Amino acid sequence: GFDNSKFYNDLEERGFVVYKDIESNYSKTVVSISSFLNFSYVEDLPHKTPAEAVSNAKIFNIAKQAGYKIYYLNSWPLDFHIHNGVIDKVYESTRGTNASILKFFLGESIVSNIIFNKGVSFGNILPALNVVDFLISGDTEGGNRLVFAHLLMPHPPYLYDEFGNETKSGVFDIPIPDGTRLNTDGYLGFLKFTNAKVLEIVDKLFAKKGEKPVIIVMGDHGPRMVEYLYAHEKHIDEIEKNYKYCFNTFLAYYNPDLEPARRKDVKSLINFSINFVNENFGMNFKNVEDKHFYIMGTAATFQKAKILKANY
């Protein structure tokens, strides 16, 4: 019920096109980012793992051929052991790869969430934001750059309040046998913190001398109102009724060379990415059917990991 229109208006005043109701094509990051960066459904990709799909993404290849340096900020270790591939530089803000192994064996337990989410994420958000600052202000190697920065916000655990203070308690949604009880106060504070950081990053980019950059601010899935990790069959009707929550996300697009209202007709992330490469790199890809896939369970469980490996 929170009215986030001030954030939308602040972006629009800066020249962004704001898509308030754009939908992701998947309900989980690991497949959503892989799909977006390849403007293709994962079932059609030749890669065996999400890490391969990201490391050799079509968008990165197209930009590389156009003379861009590719930079990737990885702040989420599970299933995203990104290697360079076509990427020129991978920045890791994670505390090490052992977190992925730990999560794999512990699965979706409360202990796992506390150790993995809190331990990893508290060490990731500020280092990740520092990398963004470096990429904005640092000289790096000059020339045209495509930077993809994955920031785990506003995503549980809810680490900061709206004023940037560390949240001492209530950083998690509370697991219950059939799903999750949402921590709405924690989420809202972290959302406001995220809004402020996004505008701060945008203003730093605009303050640089030279040509204005093309900027995309996006979520890769919607708020999963209930995590259906248990008793799946029992909740099929609820999933179908509430799927909109899982896929309803956010995207804001700034392109100094385009009219602001030009792309309001795009409905999902995969078709936005197709239009993006067409507009910015002279491609002529056709839009695809908007489809949505709810991922049952989690890739951290052994059974789901095997299913993902077999199908992806």
Return the biggest CA–CA distance within the chain: 57
Most confident residue range from 86-100, 226-240, 246-260, 268-282: 268-282
Which residues have CB under 8 Å from 209's CB, separation 6+?
A: none
- CA pair distance 135, 79, nearest whole angstrom: 24
| 114-120-126 Cα angle (round to 5) | 125
Q: Is 80 exposed, middle or buried (0-12, 13-18, 19+ CB in 10 A)?
A: buried
pLDDT at 123 over 80: no
H or E segment to which residue 126 belongs: helix 125-137
Q: Would you say 278 and 31 are in contact if contact means Cβ atoms under 8 Å apart? A: no
pLDDT, the chain, mean:
78
Cis peptide before 157 (omega within 30 of 0): yes
Q: At what angle do helices 184-207 and 5-13 cross, to 10 degrees?
A: 10
CA–CA dist 227, 13 (Å, integer): 36
Reported as a pLDDT band with limits 50, 70 and 90, residue 274 is: very high
- Please determine, for residue 269, whether its predicted confidence score (pLDDT) is greater than 90: yes
Q: What pTM did the predictor assign? A: 0.84
